[in-house]
A and B are shown apart, each in its own frame.
Chain A
Amino acid sequence: MGRQIAEAIVDGILVGGVYALMAVGLTLIFGVLDIINIAQGILVVLGAYLSYVLAVHLHIDLFLGLLITVPAMFLIGVAVQLAFIRPLRGQERTSMTLLVSYAVALIIEGILYKIFGPDYKQLSSWYVTRSVHVLGFYLPYIYLFGFALAVLLIVALYALLYRTPFGRSVRATMQDEVAARLIGINVSRVAAITYGIGVAVTAAGGMVFGATSGGFNPNSGYDLISRLLAIIILGGLGSIAGALVASVFMLTLESLVDVWSPNWAIVVFYAALVIVLVVRPTGFLGRREVRAQ
């Protein structure tokens, strides 16, 4: 039993790293821009399909392929923001972003169905199937690489947000959009780029998800988005480190409960969110509410 529990914890931490990769973009978009990006789930799947196309048709290594898919997803993100999200105004803006991003998700899902069909695909490479033996645990390389990538990206995002002029504009916009506009920050440009970055990061998450999930199809986005939303709320909206902490916490919890009852593991996932929010409405690392609403 002790052995199983230890394995479950290791599993949870490793899978948590993969979820962190998918969740950081969402917390950036939700926390900074107040956009409830329902499309994030399908964007993860899109990222996975892009890596799939590069790997299968052009024989480009999955991690190397990120050099292509990340910029591509950045452009997709900026285009979506400019075309559909920027025009939204008014009091119900946040709720409208939810519907718009849902519509975008439907369209992307439909296109993916048209191109790839409903069959499950999986990304493969030598590091997907092989594992390294450490302290009696078999650790698949892909999870280790994925975890490293997650930490790397989180550090890079921190550097971007806290060490660059652009990051200062982003944080100013997050604190007070009107004041940011008054001191000369081009708020709509910041919004478009931030949304683009949030989507670009998702390309990395999608690749690792596609390699570890045991198969994905255009329908895989729905299950993902609800989990990702739960994770970023638990971590604290807009907190990038919180996304990592919450991912690891949630996935470890789920994998622990899974030892006893696979059926209830996912219930615990959502129940944990509800319980934590009762005790601490801002999540783990959320400072007070960022905005009044």
Chain B
Amino acid sequence: MRPPGGSGLPGAGWRLGGVAVLLAVAAVFPLVFTNPVITNYGVFALIFAGAASAWNLFSGYSGYISLGHAVFFGSGAYTVGIAAKAWHLTGLAVFGLLPLAAAVAAAIAVPFGLVALRVRRHTFIVVTIAVFFIFQLMAYNLSFTGGTTGLSAPFLNWQAASYNDPFYYIALVIVVAAVALSWLVRRSRFGLQLRAIRDDEDRARGLGVRAMRVKLGAFAISAAFTGLLGGVWFYYLTQVQPPSGFDPLFDLSIALMTFFGGIGSLSGPVLGALIIEPGQLYLTTRFTNGYVSEILLGAIFLLVILLLPRGVIPTATERITAWRAARARQAPAPPDAGPEGQAGAGEGTGPGAVDGPAVRTGGTPR
């Protein structure tokens, strides 16, 4: 059952197979669970999976923690709302505005990044919070955003039973695209430069990495996906107000999901979102008197961070690797089992995985 060569992780074939099975499960999910209450969970989980994945593409790879991604999410939502109203679009045509939402978010990311990415990473976090508040307040105060009442989407004349399904599949496609792009970035020179910046920006710059350009590129790509999802989210909920579109909890949630799953890894953010978002939705609907769900959420956060400080995926990978290494030691060890097994490579680019060379290449392309 083990892949050839005794490597610490399943081989490419197994991985592809696993991804195919997961995709198949995700694709038939709304056909099996037709209850709109359940598919509603699915839509939200996928929107957050995509957003966490996009966030990870920038923050996980570059080490610059952004707490301002709600700027892109909200801008995407407002873009779709404003454009649909201005051009009198209804029904399916509104989905055609999604690329515009992505473009607007990316266009906002460029000046945002040019300012915010000048400072070092701890200050960066606070600057992103500041920019986030500027956008939320603009949404309140500008004339074309509808102020406090916000905007509402054109009415969708769909059957209630299957209303969620198109949104589910659109979100699914975006999640797949975000993960695929993250995978491509990981393997590319661009991704290597990003991780070099994460590990030691001064040294990376000394080695010829154009740090600003690389960081800005990742920021804009990440923003585009987030804006896209903001557009989907808006049309799904059919409304947006300043505090819901530009929601500080959105930023903290996607950061938490990514940390929970394993920051810097490929599947971590998706897994984190698929677990946490339905959990959060369940808790808030189950305990309607706010504080119980709040205390529970806080306690769960603390437990997760203290018990799994590097996230589920890196920890699990490490456990499996250790287990395989132990088994390999009992059996006659294949010649290449040692170093590769120890490196715990693959997804193991989680925080502090290895205190070694300045540039950790992380997931070795195999």
What residues of chain A lie closer than 8 Å to B67, measured between beta carbons?
A: 98
Known: A106-B301, A114-B291, A278-B115. 16 other contacts (CB 8 A): A36-B122, A90-B310, A91-B352, A93-B351, A95-B259, A95-B263, A110-B290, A110-B298, A229-B126, A229-B129, A230-B129, A266-B137, A267-B137, A274-B116, A277-B127, A281-B118
Q: Does B305 contact A (CB under 8 A)?
A: yes
Interface-facing stretch out of A67-75, A81-89, A148-156, A185-193? A81-89
Interface of A, helix, strand, loop or mixed by DSSP: helix
Measured between alpha carbons, how far is A205 from B228 in the docked complex, in Å?
A: 42
Q: Is the CB of A90 within 8 A of B352?
A: yes
| Total interface residues in chain B, CB < 8 Å | 47
Which listed residue (B122, B130, B137) contacts A230, Cβ 8 A? B130
Q: Does A233 contact B (CB under 8 A)?
A: yes
What residues of chain B lie closer than 8 Å to A87, measured between beta carbons?
A: 306, 309
Q: How far is the CB of B32 from chain A (nearest CB, A)?
A: 34
Give A235-277 as 1s and 0s: 1 = Cβ < 8 Å from B's Cβ atoms.
0010000000000000000000000000110110011011001
Which of the four size classes fits the interface of chain A? 35 or more
Q: Is the CB of A89 within 8 A of B352?
A: yes
Which listed residue (A96, A111, A233, A270) contacts B131, Cβ 8 A? A270
Q: Which residues of B contact A (CB under 8 A)?
A: 63, 65, 67, 115-116, 118-123, 125-127, 129-131, 133-134, 137-138, 140-141, 201-202, 248, 252, 255-256, 259, 263, 290-292, 294-295, 297-299, 301-302, 305-306, 309-310, 351-352
Which listed residue (A88, A109, A278) contacts B309, Cβ 8 A? A88
Contact of A226 with B133 at beta-carbon distance under 8 Å, contacts A107-B294, A267-B138, A274-B127 already known: yes
Measured between alpha carbons, how far is A263 from B202 in the docked complex, in Å?
A: 41
Contact of A267 with B129 at beta-carbon distance under 8 Å, contacts A103-B302, A106-B294, A106-B297 already known: no
Contact of A103 with B301 at beta-carbon distance under 8 Å, contacts A237-B122, A267-B134, A278-B115 already known: yes
Contact of A222 with B248 at beta-carbon distance under 8 Å, contacts A110-B298, A281-B118 already known: yes
Closest to A272 in B: B130
Q: Is the CB of A270 within 8 A of B133?
A: yes
Interface of B, helix, strand, loop or mixed by DSSP: helix
Which listed residue (B63, B125, B294, B302) contacts A36, Cβ 8 A? B125
Q: Is the CB of A263 within 8 A of B120?
A: no
List 5 A-B residue pairs with CB atoms under 8 Å apart, sorted by A's residue number: A34-B122, A103-B297, A107-B299, A263-B140, A267-B141
Q: Which residues of A contact B (CB under 8 A)?
A: 30, 34, 36, 84, 87-96, 98-100, 102-107, 109-111, 113-114, 222, 226, 229-230, 233, 237, 263-264, 266-267, 270-271, 273-274, 277-278, 281, 289, 292-293
Q: How far is the CB of A91 from chain B (nearest CB, A)?
A: 5
What residues of chain B lie closer than 8 Å to A114, measured between beta carbons?
A: 291, 295
Which listed residue (B141, B248, B263) contacts A92, Cβ 8 A? B263
Measured between alpha carbons, how far is A230 from B131 in the docked complex, in Å?
A: 10
Q: Is the CB of A104 within 8 A of B133?
A: no
Q: How far is the CB of A30 from chain B (nearest CB, A)?
A: 8
Q: Is the CB of B123 within 8 A of A113?
A: no
Closest to A95 in B: B65
Measured between alpha carbons, how far is A84 from B302 in the docked complex, in Å?
A: 8
Contact of A264 with B141 at beta-carbon distance under 8 Å, contacts A96-B305, A106-B301, A277-B115 already known: yes
Q: How far is the CB of A283 from chain B (nearest CB, A)?
A: 8
